[in-house]
Structure 1
């Protein structure tokens, strides 16, 4: 693991501990109190927060509260059927990041990656150590190892395309990975999934940053309103978490539901987006356009 990856894992670990403290009744802790609980000086804790999310720990606390998901569902629910459809050959916007999307044919998917060369590498991300995989057409896999561990994350991704040839080549993926995590520039996605999965992932792209939708709404958006369970499975099998924003899918009750890479990561992603979008309302308007 390189120095940047170790730093990212450390930063995410700090956020993870902050989540636990806040959940244990520390919602109203001052900066000094929260920093002391984490055995840090207030200045050091503030710097880590600013480096990670760009807002103060006090503001970030409100987005980590357990009721935040319900508030999102109440105030920032996105009706996908009324959203502008994003075609498979079209593009979606995530903040200032442009995504070019290309999906495998059903026949290619059925071959389980046979004849496909997939490059991989480990990278720094706002949510800890991240595994990025890609073909010559773009990113096809993105996994977060902070909660699961690096080896299980690698095994999980490789099992999705068992017949593919996997080659370690972080240099080839670095420009795409850096654009994805900085949320600036352009990156390409090479989506590898079954037809229903592709439809669900396409619908997820219509949810603007800082907003959420529900599994049942996703099912309606793809024309299969009774397939809520299948939709939930497809959301969980999204191979490009964060870029295809499965973390924005909630249960009708406002509960977070599951998350393939760990619920703390999902909560951190929602809080990260909410904090940034509140600080940059113009970005939120662009993301919805």
Structure 2
């Protein structure tokens, strides 16, 4: 059975999809509210509670024009400023507090036989997630769209011989603070990832794209030191094992269009708009 947060997010995502599909017609609040089976008053209040802004303001963050402006800023030293200060107005840039440690061959040799993995399920503003950790950090996070059993099986596919415990640990709890919009409570998040040196380099570069910021595959490839390998960079982005924490949702087309996402384009739109609203609130 879905939780109320999951039900609310489903409605929000449906509304965002409706807005995007019918943007040229400029649908009114009443039309969108009817589409998600809510009264205009209830829908407006629910949306603002979720995003911190009105549906109309949120949609502006998802426009091609807004995305292009963000991409221009990326070339105007916003990227470097974020790295130097570690601050975004009154809120800390969570990305700078995420550290990646690659697994050694011995740690995942023979299907993870040397690993103890704790896992749990949690509700987020974008639907339920499964989060898993070793003693060194988060090794997996994914949105649960096809049931908890399938979500767990995916981890076991990656580490079939690890020992699994359904247990919420401090490593997981700290990582989940990422969804609270109160990053002042956020300590350093550690990731313990299985990947090639190239993949880990791309993921580390992705972490330097600040919340509310966007980048393109070509730009990401250049910053990762592989300027002519943007297709390989795209593959590395697509193989990201830690949803949201490694922000592959911030990679968009050079045209300013949001593009596709492993976890669905509606969810990508929701995350980008949510982060943009949060950035505006602390500047």
Report the TM-score, using the length of structure 1 for normalisation.
0.81
Map of 2:189 onto structure 1? 188
Change (3 A) 1:31 1:157: same
2:143 and 2:263 in contact (8 A); partners too? yes
Q: How many angstroms does 1:268 deviate by? A: 1.0
CA contact (8 A) 1:79 1:217 kept: no
- How far apart in 2 are the matches of 1:276 and 1:73? 15
1:163 to 161, 164, 169: 161
Q: CA deviation at 1:163?
A: 3.0
CA positional deviation for 1:160: 2.6
Distance 1:82 1:70, change over 3 A: closer
Map of 2:243 onto structure 1: 241
Distance 1:122 1:79 in 2: 40
**Taking structure 1 as reference, are residues 102 and 21 closer, same or farther at Cα in structure 2, changes over 3 Å only?**
closer
Q: 196-205 or 253-262: which moved more?
A: 253-262
What SS does structure 2 have at the residue aligned with 1:124? strand
Alpha-carbon offset, residue 126 of structure 1: 1.1
Contact 1:139–1:176, Cα closer than 8 Å, also in 2: no
How has the CA–CA distance of structure 1 residues 277 and 18 changed in structure 2, closer, same or farther, with 3 Å as cutoff?
A: same
Residues 75-94 of structure 1: CA deviation (Å, up to 9, x unaligned) = 443579973797xxxxx779
- 1:118-137 pair list within 5 angstroms: 118-137=117-136
Q: Which residue of 2 aligns with 1:25?
A: 22
Which residue number corresponds to residue 208 of structure 2? 206
Aligned length: 272
Most deviating of 268-277 and 46-55:
46-55
Tell me: CA distance 1:117–1:49, structure 2 relative to 1, closer, same or farther (3 Å).
same
State the SS of the aligned residue for 1:241: coil
Displacement after TM superposition at 1:143 (Å): 0.8
SS of 1:239 mapped into structure 2? coil
Q: Secondary structure at the match of 2:126?
A: coil
> Relative to structure 1, is the Cα distance of residues 78 and 158 closer, same or farther in structure 2, using a 3 angstrom cutoff?
farther
Q: TM-score, normalised by structure 2?
A: 0.82
Distance 1:143 1:79 in 2: 33
